[in-house]
Chains A and B, each alone.
Chain A
Amino acid sequence: MTAATPVLHRTQAATARPTEHKTPIGRIGAHVFLIVMTLLWITPIVWALYTSLRPYNETSKYGYLSWPRNLTFSNFTNAWKQADMLHYFWNSALITVPSVIIALVLASCVAFVLSRFSFWFNIPLLIIFAAANLLPQQVIITPLYRIYLTVHVPTFISSSGLLYNSYAGLVVINTAFQVGFCVFVLSNYMKSIPHEITEAALIDGAPVWTRYWKLTLPLCRPALAALATLLTTWIYNDFFWAIALISSGSKRPITSALANLQGQYFVNQNLLAAGALITAVPTLLVYVILQKQFIAGLSLGSSKG
């Protein structure tokens, strides 16, 4: 009945399960279904890739649905240079990296308290955090927009002196919005760690901070890694906060900058495809290298009990 740990380890046990179906028809049916669906599913991506690799003059002459004569990477280099994509990637990094780190630190603190102490406020606290992540962003955007225009911050944090239209503002809202989910996942995970480990430290008289930092956090590495992967992808992919809370296009992270770049620089389908695919590179890297972590993170959030 523990929440998170079994999910990470259970996969090995599951592979030992004997194949259920004995009929070859069932097996063939399953393969046909999956092949058809998979082909259907990757068509948009393959098509985007194909379009992006073809020179514009060729597609304008023969149409987009035609056999290739030449394939080129020039659309990628052109999109990259013309739209100054490096600049927007840098914006994304400035927003994503601090958000992920701060969210995980804060969430693990709360989760530690929730899982290691029985205070009367544990349940209300869990509700406050878990529910915050479930609200649609647009429910809070109206007052938040005013808050961002009102709250003054030192100019070394935001050059305008306001949270509005600043990287710091986006870091703050991304952190605040994601921290609830992390609290929920991490507190479940910590509850599955045997108490004996931290209890032993208590006898030695270890202070709370040591129990958190030196004893609990290292044991949470798998969950933290999974959450970091998930959060990086989610915050990098965020569109809404940056559209609503950043007014100058040059400060927007790459995902929401796409809305402007689309018409301005990506003037034909080939460039548009190339530009779009470039923005997918970071998430595709995560997909190739850290897919297991990503899926584990998603599963941690859902398989409870």
Chain B
Amino acid sequence: MVSAELTLSSSPATRKRRRRGVRTLSGRDIAVLSAMIGIPLLGVLFFIWFPAVATVFLSFTKWNGIGGIKAIHADGVQNYVQAATNYPPFWPAVRHNVLWLVVFIVFASPLGMLFAVVLDRQIRGSRIYQSLLFLPVMLSLALIGIIWELIYSPNYGLLNNVIGRNGTHNLIDWLGNPHLNLWAVLVEACWRQAPYVMVLYLAGLKAVDPTLREAALVDGANPWQTFWRVVFPVLRPINVVVLVITVIESLRAFDLVYITNGGNNGLELLSVLITRNIVGQVSRIGFGSALGVVLLVISLVPIVTFLVFQLRQEKRR
């Protein structure tokens, strides 16, 4: 807290000094600065923000990609109407994305937090536990999909062999059955997400001022109360980051279902539908863009939350 006040009290002076810094720039310095900002900025604007805006524009048009830009013609909200009423995989995909998000929020993130809290108690071997739990975060999602196929495979998989359902009559097809496969894949996703959240919380917990806990202990709080009433509120910045990551990751989900079965038969996700409509034989650019806009609108919620939170912290500094 002291450091915060110090920065506050010294900020006018720093600002004045910095402004002078700007004024003393030579022409060459200004050219260098422009290039330092300009090149990365142009790259990000052209390859990220231009496509993001173009998606919105294209979603109101009809274009199959043939005949250049002149062949694009306006189509109103037809793409959206069609997606909602005449495109069978759309609503299942929305449902699956929502379910993905819910599972991440109510299961993966709390589990990761629990790992972090237990590991943070300085018990013996905590580094070993941490390293082993962390292993899945290093692996690509495509690889995770394959590793889990060895578990879920109906005949050869570990799971069916252990529970005795590997005979020809009582097979459980974990990844093939459309009522089961999303849950099976969600287990894979949580297997990676929980340790990811764990690492974020571990860093946050280490930064918590130990005197806070001591004070709470002296005041007679039990560990449960200490965590929820003292530590958890202090972790607010981490909580925001975890929430943002959780939402974004569940919107981005693609690799696991794609490697498992291409995102069909119970594993439809918005991301897969978008890709399917633009890559491959039939290119329905307007329609694919409309699906992209749906994803964009949802993702703006966590993005704006994150930015507002960060900027407020920036100001407080």
Contacts and interface: CB of A to CB of B under 8 A. Distances in A.
Whether A associates with B in a native complex is yes
B55 interface: yes
User: Which interface class (under 10, 10 to 19, 20 to 34, 35 or more) fits A?
Assistant: 35 or more
A284 B28 CA distance: 46
Contact of A302 (B136, B138, B200): B200
Contact of B238 (A255, A269, A302): A302
A138 B275 contact: yes
Per DSSP, chain B at the interface is: helix
Interface string A182-197: 0100000000000100
B223 A21 contact: yes
A298 B254 contact: no
A145 B51 CA distance: 9
Contact of B278 (A2, A142, A179, A298): A142
A147 interface: yes
Central interface residue in B15, B33, B203, B217, by most chain A CB within 10 Å: B203
A98 to B, nearest CB: 14
Interface string A100-141: 000000110110110011110001010111111011111111
A26 B223 CA distance: 11
A19 B122 contact: yes
A297 to B, nearest CB: 10
Contact of B303 (A19, A109, A134): A134
Contacts of A141: 51, 274-275, 278, 292
Contact of B51 (A143, A207, A280, A295): A143
B43 A176 contact: yes
B7 A1 contact: yes
A143 B135 contact: no
B150 interface: yes
B241 interface: yes
A278 to B, nearest CB: 10
A117 B22 contact: yes
Given A65-B158, A176-B48, A208-B33, A145 B19 contact: no
B176 interface: no
Interface residues of B, number: 119
A122 to B, nearest CB: 10
B210 to A, nearest CB: 5
B105 interface: no
A304 B310 contact: yes
15 contacts: A7-B203, A20-B223, A37-B115, A113-B37, A117-B18, A123-B311, A129-B44, A138-B295, A142-B274, A199-B21, A239-B140, A239-B258, A286-B138, A302-B237, A304-B313
Interface of A: 1-2, 6-7, 10-11, 14-15, 17, 19-21, 26-27, 30-31, 33-35, 37-38, 41-45, 47-48, 51, 59, 63-65, 106-107, 109-110, 112-113, 116-119, 123, 125, 127-132, 134-147, 149, 172-173, 175-177, 179-180, 183, 195, 199, 202, 207-209, 212, 233, 236-240, 243-244, 255-256, 258-259, 262, 269, 272-273, 276, 279-280, 283-284, 286-287, 291, 294-295, 298-299, 301-305
